[in-house]
Structure 1
Amino acid sequence: MKPEFSRRYPLDTIGSAPREVCVEATAAERAALATRFGLEALEALGATAVLTACALGIEAVGRLRGDVVQSCVVTGEPVAARIDEAFALRFVDPALLASEAEETELSDGDCDLIEIDGGAVDLGEAVAQTLGLALDPFPRCAVERAREKERKWAAGADAGPFAGLKGMLGNQ
């Protein structure tokens, strides 16, 4: 399956000196990504990154910026949001990823590994995945955010999803 937003950089074009790149999604790519992520709209998506060859592959450090419109989880109304997310990724050989999968323990640094595909890194797909992770999983419109604040204020300090269980613990 071809990614909706692909910006491939062949490994032989990335040297040990840092290379700054910018990627910007077209209207058609944004529409396809909006469908993929269940968005009402993806009005803008772009990123800047510095690509650098390293011992384990290619490092990409940069910033993603996008304008999204999601549906409120309560009312279904449109909720506009601006995404501004820093990222640090490492593209590695698939064999290295396979050996990492056999490890039983993961460190924080292992969570940003992406497979090198066909002798190139796909920064566009990496940006799309980063966008997906940055989206609000439970977007609420302004009216619902205000109602939530009011409910919390009215309930006082004992509000919350586990407040009803408090009395079951007894005085320990």
Structure 2
Amino acid sequence: MSSDLPNPAAYRVADLSQNRPTRFSLVPGAEELAALTTELGVEALRKLRFEGEIKARGKRDWTLKGQIGFTVVQPCVVTLEPVTTRVDTNVERLFLANYEEPEASEVEMDEDDTTEALGEVIDVAAIMVESVALHLPQYPRKEGAALGQHLHAEPGTAPMRDEETRPFAGLADLFKPKDESSAD
């Protein structure tokens, strides 16, 4: 997606209309999708579309609201078989002319990830790539795939099971009243 050519999806703020929204629609071609697939480390990326509008908010600030949709193929975290997932979600950004970054010592992680400093351009393609990366399924799992229990032990010894690794599992049994019939 990065090249020396001017980015047609980067809108100069000075050229945006204050009175009416600027609509955009990005549908990357096969070459851009292949580059993005490699960049994101997924098996396949298809049907990517990012549509929305940029409009003025007050005299100096801008908002971007859009919808992104894509289909991604990733390996299952259990079986490594391909898992196809469709993602459709809204994207919002607020670009502030007087935005001040919080000092690193004050905030560990900024809770509002939709607010950014206003620069000379609003790069819709960069926002699209960031949104795809943020909305990829973290642990894709094929339907019905489950982690089984693997038992390992040296020859001649009994393998330890998950239940046996819980040291306090039988503690409740110690506090139960003893059965009267088994007292003798």
Asked whether the two chains share a fold, i.e. TM above 0.5, the reply is yes
With over 3 angstroms needed to count, the CA separation of the structure-2 counterparts of 1:165 and 1:31, relative to structure 1, is farther
List aligned pairs for 1:22-41, cutoff 5 A.
22-41=25-44
Count of aligned positions? 150
Aligned-residue CA RMSD in angstroms? 3.2
The two structures have a TM-score, normalised by structure 1, of 0.72
Unaligned runs of 5+ in 1: 152-163
> Is the aligned partner of 1:59 residue 2:63?
yes
DSSP 3-state at the match of 1:88: strand
Corresponding residue of 1:90: 94
After TM superposition, the runs of 4+ consecutive aligned structure 1 residues lying more than 6 A away are 168-171
Corresponding residue of 1:120: 121
List aligned pairs for 1:2-151, cutoff 5 A.
2=2, 7-16=9-18, 17-55=20-58, 57-93=61-97, 96=99, 99-102=100-103, 104=106, 108=111, 110-117=112-119, 119-144=120-145, 147=146
The two structures have a TM-score, normalised by structure 2, of 0.67
Larger proportion of helix: 1
Report if aligned partners of 1:64, 1:127 keep a CA contact under 8 Å in 2: yes
Residues of 2 paired with 1:2 and 1:9: CA distance?
16
With over 3 angstroms needed to count, the CA separation of the structure-2 counterparts of 1:121 and 1:167, relative to structure 1, is same
Report if aligned partners of 1:58, 1:92 keep a CA contact under 8 Å in 2: yes
DSSP 3-state at the match of 1:39: coil
Identity %: 26
With over 3 angstroms needed to count, the CA separation of the structure-2 counterparts of 1:12 and 1:143, relative to structure 1, is same
Unaligned runs of 5+ in 2: 150-165, 176-184
Residues of 2 paired with 1:36 and 1:166: CA distance?
47
With over 3 angstroms needed to count, the CA separation of the structure-2 counterparts of 1:57 and 1:166, relative to structure 1, is farther
Q: What is the Cα deviation at residue 8 of structure 1?
A: 0.7
In terms of Rg, which structure is larger?
A: 2
DSSP 3-state at the match of 1:141: coil
RCO higher in structure (CA 8 A, sep ≥6): 1
Report if aligned partners of 1:30, 1:44 keep a CA contact under 8 Å in 2: no
With over 3 angstroms needed to count, the CA separation of the structure-2 counterparts of 1:167 and 1:67, relative to structure 1, is same
Q: What is the Cα deviation at residue 18 of structure 1?
A: 1.6
